[in-house]
Amino acid sequence: MQYSIEFRPGVLKSLKRFPKKDLLRIKKKIEGLGRNLPAPDTTKVQGNNSFHKIRTGNYRIIYEIHEGKLVILVVKIGHRKDVYKKLP
């Protein structure tokens, strides 16, 4: 089952500030996410929310899974020290 990937507008703007080496790694991880979704119970962010996370180096990709539409919505990408602050 192939999921399509969608991004919040702020995520696309934030991608421009990452170093090129890390940006390539992040893009590869997001593409793999659409093809092979990890087990949702292992990637769930703590708390009462619908967010999941995946690691890529020192960065984290925060996303939501919309099963009905087969869509993964990337909510936020950032450094591990501050990506969890101010989640939408």
Tens digit of each residue's pLDDT (9 = 90 or more) over 3-29: 999 999 899 998 888 999 999 999 999
pLDDT at residue 34 in the model: 87
8 Å CB contact between 38 and 49:
no
Structural domains of the chain ordered from first start: 4-79 (3.30.2310.20)
The predicted model scores a pTM of 0.90
State pLDDT tens for residues 19-74: 999 999 999 999 999 888 888 888 999 988 999 999 999 999 999 999 889 999 99
Average pLDDT over residues 73-77: 95
Single-letter amino acid code for the residue at 46: Q
